[in-house]
Amino acid sequence: MKISYKFLTLLLIPLAAQLHSEVIEEFSVKFNKEMIKGKSIISSSAKEQGKFEELPNIDGYGWQASGNVLSFPKITLERLPREKVSAQAIVSLKEGTKWGSIIGHFQDNGSYEKGWLLGYNEGNFNFAVATSGRLSYVQSSEKFKKNTLYHVAGVYDGKEIKIYINGKLTGRRDLSGSILYADFGELIVGAYKDKDERTPLNGLMISAGFQNKALNQSQIQSLSDASIKALPKELPFDRTPILQFLSPSSAELNFHLFEPMNCHVELYHHSGTKEIYKGSSSKQQKFILKNLNKGYKYKYKIIASNKSGQEFKNPLFELESNVNYAPIPLETKSSLALQSAQEILKLSKNSHGHLAIFGKTSESLLLALAAQSKMQISYFHDNDALVNKLRLSLYKNKLYGSRINAYYYKDLKNLSLSQNIFNTLLLSGVKSSTIEKLVKHVKPSGVLISTSKIPPHADFKTIAHKKFSIAKKMELKGQGQWLSQYGSGNNSTYSGESLNNMSSSENLKLQWIGRPGGDFGIDRNPRMPAPLSANGRLFHQGMNRMAALDAHNGSILWTLEIPKLRRVNIPRDASNWCTDGEIVYTAINDHILLINAKDGKVINHYSLEMKERMKNYEWGFIGQDKDRIYGSSVRPESIYKEYYGNNQWYDNLNDKSTGKVCSESFFALSKKGERLWTYKLGLIINTSICYQNELIYFVETRNPEVLQLEDSRITEEQLWNNQFLVCLNAKSGKVVWEKDIDTVDGDIVFYMQSTDKSLLISLSNSKNKKYYIYNFDIKNGKPVWEVNHNWPSSHHSGHMLHPVIVDNTIYQEPMAYNIISGKQIRKGIGKREGCHNYVGIKQGLVFRGTSRQISIWSKETGKTSTWSRLRPSCWLSMIPASGMLLVPEGGAGCSCGGWIETSLGFSPWETK
């Protein structure tokens, strides 16, 4: 959250409770750790005890309110103000709502309206007092900005009610009489809660309170002027903090600042103790956090001061050690074994994943291979006594199990190993006939190293070497790569993956099962970015974290903890990452990270232009093609990040969650970071951006009213006016052609996909409850055909699905159309249950089907097959790529339960 401090004020003067009076003269509650114990809080003035419904999330600024409610049940009616009242708060809202309250004692139950409240609605702060039969509201004339701290004050003096924002009077109206209260209810902070309603505030609260008197404007202005120095200054990062686990008990934290600063990190342990790590006085900071215990949640705060002594700090970031999958580091004393291990690992060109050994070896070599890499080492031999002796020795030295294992097999026929599973296969003294039987276990791009000559094999390419016989396995036939949200730049929701021409769950066998599990991610519902897969790796996002896995054996290669990485509601926005197989390009805040796909190290970061960074713009769309990176800039607070609550299911109709995130500019960088060109004219709908064959396509609005909006999360119907379909030259950024178009309003969702001949706009309209598909000629934007059909449902994604394109067919539930002619070629494509989107394979579709289980529909037979007790997320969490069906865990948090919450990889290569 970026916080603007331009017009901020502090809430309350230190107030002393006047305990001799029945009426509370001054009440304030400040949200800091010193005032809170468990679910209880003590007010800083009247010493009243309050109760949270849940344990509060208190960070370095205050109370991160989201779904929680604070009440003061012991403040009785006779102690509340009757003739005059001043209510105040320092608050930042992540979002507005129709009925919102910051602090108040009120009831609004139909015609029964009593009490007072300082609150807000969808865009403005307000203050309400009941002196007759209804609550009389005064609304601020200024709209609030999301994620911006404000001092808000409401005053009733017996003649008027007034509202002040940052010391400025922004609304007033006449009102007289005594304040009327209901004879039930409580003083509530952080929620609109009465007898029959409960709407918690979603945002940050620093403090709140009230007084039994009417403050005048001069007093409020004085408070405002005096308070700004006490507000926390958020530490600005040139490159966001990134934490990578180094071992089961340590982690590296690094980040970049805009200027040299003296830094330190405060690490808060689960036991309540605080540990301080001192840093340097430079722009680039690095800390090694030690003694982290497995299975606990830590928090840390970064504090820095500049040359003038001004202090900055960030909100508390979380560090969850239960998702630390770093391998146990090992050491070896054998120099000879160390030298051999280094040579083998250099030849394999891999230090992560799974290494298997058949034939002769030594315990010292196994240990050296594990010590010099992060690989899992498995040793196989047909001598039972030898294997048992090795196991006992490794176990005695506390080395067996987590990094090194030994297996006995009677003969190769009974060796239960999957094909395409080992990154490196080391054979020592193994006969050629045995080698021929073992080569199938090497994964695509994996390496076979043998002391004996490797027989020629069609799937392997021989690598010349003096000492060893070496061969590298080629890619699988029909193997696809999932490089961006919907597979590739054309948004087809299909990677070209054939799954070895399989089209039934019976033909796919479980290749691996394991981490990450449900604790890695967010609850399944907020529609996160899809996983990615390229070069045999699988990339998966969780709760402000990401992981890289080996696609063929499930080994976790690396993980990164990245505060504020989260982006949700992808049906209304672009994803925040993509890959070219070598680098994972990840957008966060106002920059992107270039992450080495092999080891998770950040190679570089590129930012928006400084003029955009100064206005708190964020990096929106991210794409890559050949030697270019594509990006866009969106206005502040436009990207969806909220994930808690019913509205954050993003399945509703006609509410704020359907707003389309739009970009103010679109640009290209070289992969070295040089800005090549920038396009800026209208507001570009992010979900319409697609690219192929050195051309970029999108739909933008040039409507003057929309262009003047403060943010670019657009719900206004004017978005659908002044529409233009635009084609850019990807090398120069120049307009190749543009065409004014007029589609039905895509108020639910609006997508665009490209093929060699067509641009296909697919949208969903709530008024007509239909899907519409428009085909435009990709050469000039001229309309070719359009069709529409009814939604299959108005919930669980039935009204917002992203189409799938395979060859010349576009699938949009429940229909399939020929892309060339627009003719319907099928009705019924495998009945979907639940929220997950369809995903294409060569022979059909993968989706969430009967009983919400993972299913495959065959276009040849029209039949659907399923896997029991397996479910994906509520958007797109399983991808056919790398010759596998990859299902990183995305179903945790499902209310219906009974699911296996784990990550899986299915292989189509065991039955042919």
The predicted model gives 631-651 an average pLDDT of: 87
Question: Is there a contact between 592 and 578 (Cβ–Cβ < 8 Å)?
Answer: no
Distance CA 605, CA 718 (A): 36
CATH fold group of domain 335-473: Rossmann fold (3.40.50)
Q: What pLDDT score does 7 carry?
A: 35
Cβ contacts of 708 within 8 Å, gap of 6 or more: none
Residue of 315, 430, 242, 358 whose CA lies nearest to 58: 315
477 burial level (CB within 10 Å; 0-12, 13-18, 19+): exposed
Give the model confidence (pLDDT) of 273-298 as tens digits: 889 999 999 999 999 999 999 889 99
The predicted model gives 805-820 an average pLDDT of: 97
In this structure, what token pair is assigned to residue 754? 């490209």
Q: Is the pLDDT of residue 641 over 70?
A: yes
Give the model confidence (pLDDT) of 365-407 as tens digits: 999 999 999 999 999 999 999 999 999 999 988 889 889 999 9
Letter string b/e over residues 205-231, b meaning 16 or more CB atoms within 10 A of that residue's CB: bbbbbbbbbbbeeebbbebbeebeeeb
The predicted model gives 136-157 an average pLDDT of: 93
Three-state secondary structure readout of 140-183: EEEECCCCCCEEEEEEECCCEEEEEECCEEEEEEECCCCCCCCC
pLDDT band at 771 (very low <50, low <70, confident <90, very high): very high
> How does strand 274-289 pair with strand 49-52?
unpaired
Q: Is the pLDDT of residue 489 over 90?
A: yes
Residue of 613, 632, 634 whose CA lies nearest to 621: 632
44: which DSSP letter? Answer: S
Q: What pLDDT score does 892 carry?
A: 81
Q: Which amino acid is at 855?
A: S
Q: What pLDDT score does 852 carry?
A: 82
Distance CA 527, CA 574 (A): 12
115 burial level (CB within 10 Å; 0-12, 13-18, 19+): buried
Give the model confidence (pLDDT) of 863-890 as tens digits: 999 988 887 888 999 999 999 999 999 8
pLDDT band at 229 (very low <50, low <70, confident <90, very high): low
Residue extents of the structural domains in the chain: 26-230, 237-323, 335-473, 499-907
Q: What pLDDT score does 872 carry?
A: 83
752 burial level (CB within 10 Å; 0-12, 13-18, 19+): buried
Q: Is the pLDDT of residue 252 over 90?
A: yes
Q: Which of 149-163, 224-238, 488-502, 542-556 has the lowest mean pLDDT?
A: 224-238
Q: What pLDDT score does 19 carry?
A: 40
CB atoms within 10 A of CB 339: 11
Q: What pLDDT score does 897 carry?
A: 66
Distance CA 219, CA 164 (A): 11
Q: What pLDDT score does 636 carry?
A: 92
In whole numbers, what is the pLDDT of the chain averaged over residues? 92
Distance CA 178, CA 158 (A): 7
In this structure, what token pair is assigned to residue 542? 């969780």
pLDDT band at 58 (very low <50, low <70, confident <90, very high): confident
CATH entry, 26-230, from 3.20.20.100, 3.30.470.20, 2.60.120.200, 3.30.300.30 = 2.60.120.200
Distance CA 375, CA 369 (A): 8
Q: What pLDDT score does 3 carry?
A: 43
Cα–Cα distances (Å) from 166 to 21, 163, 764, 850, in that order, read: 31, 10, 42, 55
Q: What pLDDT score does 228 carry?
A: 66
599: which DSSP letter? Answer: T
Q: Is the pLDDT of residue 896 over 70?
A: no
Q: Which amino acid is at 198?
A: R
Which residue is it, tokens 């299902």? 887
Which residue is it, tokens 């605080």? 274
The predicted model gives 718-738 an average pLDDT of: 98
**In the chain, % of residues over pLDDT 90:** 78
Q: What pLDDT score does 18 carry?
A: 39
CATH fold group of domain 237-323: Immunoglobulin-like (2.60.40)
195 CB-side CA count, 13 A: 12
Cα–Cα distances (Å) from 359 to 379, 415, 866, in that order, read: 8, 15, 40
Q: What pLDDT score does 200 carry?
A: 94
CATH code of the domain made up of 499-907? 2.130.10.10
Distance CA 107, CA 110 (A): 9
Distance CA 469, CA 454 (A): 6
Give the model confidence (pLDDT) of 406-464 as tens digits: 999 998 888 889 999 999 999 999 998 899 999 999 999 999 999 999 999 999 999 98
Q: Which of 165-169, 428-432, 784-788, 847-851 has the lowest mean pLDDT?
A: 847-851
In this structure, what token pair is assigned to residue 753? 């996909």
Three-state secondary structure readout of 858-876: ECCCCCEEECCCCCCCCCC
Q: Is the pLDDT of residue 698 over 50?
A: yes
Distance CA 317, CA 299 (A): 5
In this structure, what token pair is assigned to residue 677? 């060109």
553 CB-side CA count, 13 A: 25
Q: Which of 75-79, 588-592, 754-758 has the lowest mean pLDDT?
A: 75-79
